[in-house]
Structure 1
Amino acid sequence: MLGISKNTIGANVSFKEFKSIDMTIPKEESKKRVQILIWFLLGTFLFLFLPWTQNVRSKGFVTALRPDQRPQTVHSIIAGRIEKWYVAEGDYVQKGDTVLAISEIKDDYFDPLLLERTEQQVAAKTLSAKSYAEKVKALEIQIQALKENNVLRREQAENRLQMAVLQVTSDSIRLEQAKVNFKIGEEQLKRADKLYKDGLRSLTDFEQRELRFQEVQASLIASENKLLQSINSRIAAQIELNAIDNDFRDKMAKARADMYEAMSAQFDTEATVTKLENQYSNYEVRTGYRHVLAPQEGYITRAIQVGIGETIKEGAEIISILPGNAQLAVEMFVEPVDFPLMRIGNKVRFIFDGWPAIVFSGWPQITNGTFGGIVQAIDNFAGPDGRYRILVIEDPEEKPWPPALRIGSGADGIALLNDVPLWYEIWRQLNGFPPDYYTQREKAELKAGK
């Protein structure tokens, strides 16, 4: 019992009836359990050194990469009443196809000949503007003729004035000559009278001299009268010259007033023509809005306004269209703590709704049923829920996304980050640390170095 003797009694004595002693005796099964436990611990220890791909998981949905390829609603530009539908929900339409026809509900556009009558108004006002333009040209010609005529009339009046001035000068000289003759005749008459009184001349000679003196006196009076007439003629010529200028100014003022009035009427008519042309263009464009057209090719998903005879307001939503040739992308949202890890070009794996997948998030190499993507765009501001939006497109190096994938389908995104040992990832998760930051270039360089 104390190990003093080498003799044992285990072969001679059975301990089976003593259960407590029997449980302490080593057996082959217990050894196997210990070996399994040791191998399990050793495997677990080695397992901790396996590579683990860090990732960020986020829910999202399928959308279109370009804004013009996303589902949109078609609005009515004008208010109207639905007259006829040309499509049904689920139909595929091309760009420019007629969706429905509406009629006017405003009394300003009820006239079926609205365009023709507006065009007639434009034509009438255009002719009126042309007539005013011709009147302006005629008045310009009239003003030019008045200027030329005034030049000739002034020359003629100036010549008359010059003739009158010369006539006054001539008559003044004649008057001076008549005055000299009158003075000489007066002296001769005095001498003849003295000679007659002295008896040196006969009465007949005295009377002849007196008669000649009367003639000289009459000539003086006639010269004075003629000079006054010449002066009056000169004054009349000056008055006529001034009257020509005044008449010219009056006629020019009237002609210019008529011309400016015609120009004002022309401009006003041209403005009216422009307004009518604008109105005609508006009517013509509005007529085209009576048929609602598809803005792009795609599927008619839902009719918002239904029925025949139903009235719709301006800008009301009529139908929604899903573009048929959109470049698909996934719109996913990440938490602010993971946002610094996102970079354009990062790899993302997706699990699309309706496509089964076997996912090992830490080992994307053995994951089956997922589809690859590349980060295309990242928002720089958080959304209403505090998360950041990321757009991911199809990875051209991976297998293509399912052809039956549609906009609006759900997607579970797994953004792949750095490769680390499994023990490090467990330690990081236990301590609440964020994943390691990396870039695609750094990851490629690390792989190439290994």
Structure 2
Amino acid sequence: MPFAEHPTSETHPDAGRFTAFRRARTPRAGRTLARWAGGLGLLVLLCGFLPWTQNIRSTGKLTTLRPQDRPQTVPSTIGGRIKTWRVQEGQLVQKGDTLAEIVEIKDKYFDPELLARTREQLEAKIAGLRENTAKTAALGNQQDALRLALQASLAKARNKVRQADLKVRSDRAELVAARADFAIAQRQLERQELLYKQGLKSLTELEQRRLKFQESTAKLQAVQNKLGASRQDSVSARIELQSLDAEYADKIAKSESDRRSATGYQFDTEGQIAKMRNELANLSIRAGYYFITAPQTGYVVRALKEGQGEIVKEGEDLVTLMPANPRLAAELYVKPMDIPLLRVGRRVRLQFDGWPALVFTGWPGSSFGTFGGIVQVIDNIDSNGQYRILVTHEPGTEPWPAPLRVGSGVYGWALLDDVPVWYELWRQINGFPPNYVGAEPAYAGGKDSKDGKKAKSADYGNEE
């Protein structure tokens, strides 16, 4: 059944007289709602084609890029007892400033004149080495003198042997003459006896001849004895010549033994001197460790040992020091699924704890209170199931706040490719990862591939 037309003053002239007719209107809310719904739908459809920057979100904390800029503990190099503190917590110290002073607790280092006494021992050893070196040189000269004396004695003994030989020859010739004289005396005696028997010679002449014969015999015997003695002298001279080598060899060997003993003592002394020098150097260096100094300029954060007179062990930490003016970096942790999408040089937006921000992750240009950064380091191994990246300040952007401190919380998102909003919604609904850009350089400033072209995304947008 068709709806009845609403009566109006034109169709019903008497309708104006009734209040109900005057207040009755045709409803327009449905049409207005339809118009608004259509407009919003069209706006959402148009917004679906707006560019959206894909990103990887992560959280972390502030650290430093260089290891020497991170908080460090200052240990005691040697064991000792704290004598006095020279600083207080929160104080700014320069490199080389004394933080604390310690004293010895080992009895071998109690002597306050230990360095001077060790130096005196070293000088005494050096003097002993110098004298031993002179002794070695003197023994060498003694060996040279013995060798010269051996040559002179050998020459003298050879001359003596030659003289003995000449004397033997002379005595041998004299023996020949004595034998000839003996033979003549013997023949003369025989003829004299024969003439005496014949009565031609007197007894006196015979007795004279017999006396002459006895003299020849005695002379022959004396010459023979003399030749024998000369031969003995010749043998003795040769024996003496042969004994000279053994005698002087013994003297030279003894001198060589003394020289080698002195040389061995010299080497041993040199080793002791080197050891004492090492000990003296160690003591000198150890004396410098009584003062615990700041390794670099920074702030004293906390004293790990309190009071005076407390014992510290070797290598035990005394003070925590925060270096001044560190180069800050954001330490963020990324899921293993997202780490292939990052590379050194990727831009990152950061939000620091304590600084209010209005963040639109997909529209970084519209965000407020965020700061720019670039990926500087990407770890090659995971840390508790996530990969660590270090982000530093991006040149040319707003500087990071000066009051930032190491350890503050930070929230960051790495900027990837630009895609339409509808594609990002579709990816999020399906749980797909962001677009992967392959064949990218592994470090900032890296070269492109051989054909000179950078790889592009397989879906929407190129590398940013």
TM-score, length-scaled by structure 1: 0.91
Tell me the equivalent position of 1:172: 172
Tell me the equivalent position of 1:227: 227
Shift in Å, 1:274: 1.6
CA contact (8 A) 1:332 1:413 kept: yes
Tell me the equivalent position of 1:44: 44
Tell me the equivalent position of 1:420: 419
1:325 lines up with 2:325 in the alignment: yes
Give deviations 1:2-38, integer Å, cap 9, x for gaps.
79xxx96755589x99xxxx9xx97433222111111
Shift in Å, 1:189: 2.0
CA distance in 2, matches of 1:26, 1:9: 9
1:292 lines up with 2:254 in the alignment: no
Tell me the equivalent position of 2:399: 400
Residue 130 of structure 2 aligns to a residue in which SS?
helix
Tell me the equivalent position of 1:389: 388
Shift in Å, 1:132: 1.1
The residue type equivalent to 1:174 in the other structure is E
Spell out the pairing of 1:42-441 with structure 2 (5 A cutoff): 42-383=42-383, 385-438=384-437
Q: Which moved more, 1:241-250 or 1:275-284?
A: 241-250
Give deviations 1:366-421, integer Å, cap 9, x for gaps.
111111111111110111x1111111111112111112212111111111111111
CA distance in 2, matches of 1:276, 1:63: 47
CA distance in 2, matches of 1:262, 1:449: 82
Residue 380 of structure 2 aligns to a residue in which SS?
coil
Identity rate, percent: 46
Shift in Å, 1:350: 0.6
CA distance in 1, matches of 2:351, 2:455: 24
CA distance in 2, matches of 1:166, 1:356: 129
Structure 1 residues 330 and 340, CA gap change in structure 2 (3 angstroms): same
CA contact (8 A) 1:418 1:443 kept: no
Shift in Å, 1:62: 1.2
CA contact (8 A) 1:63 1:328 kept: yes
Shift in Å, 1:204: 4.2
Shift in Å, 1:47: 0.9
CA contact (8 A) 1:60 1:333 kept: yes
Shift in Å, 1:336: 0.5
Q: Over aligned residues, Cα RMSD in angstroms?
A: 2.6
Shift in Å, 1:256: 1.5
CA contact (8 A) 1:360 1:366 kept: yes
Structure 1 residues 106 and 9, CA gap change in structure 2 (3 angstroms): closer
Give deviations 1:197-242, integer Å, cap 9, x for gaps.
2234444443343333222212211111111111121122123223
CA distance in 1, matches of 2:243, 2:75: 75
The residue type equivalent to 1:245 in the other structure is D
The residue type equivalent to 2:392 in the other structure is I
Residue 408 of structure 1 aligns to a residue in which SS?
coil
Shift in Å, 1:448: 9.7
CA distance in 2, matches of 1:50, 1:287: 72
Spell out the pairing of 1:23-42 with structure 2 (5 A cutoff): 27-42=27-42
5+ residue gaps, structure 2, are: 442-447, 449-453
CA contact (8 A) 2:299 2:322 kept: yes
The residue type equivalent to 1:100 in the other structure is A
Q: Which moved more, 1:397-406 or 1:316-325?
A: 397-406
Structure 1 residues 236 and 443, CA gap change in structure 2 (3 angstroms): closer
Residue 101 of structure 1 aligns to a residue in which SS?
strand
CA distance in 1, matches of 2:186, 2:270: 85
5+ residue gaps, structure 1, are: none
Q: Which moved more, 1:109-118 or 1:438-447?
A: 438-447
CA distance in 2, matches of 1:338, 1:221: 132
CA contact (8 A) 1:349 1:415 kept: yes
TM-score, length-scaled by structure 2: 0.89
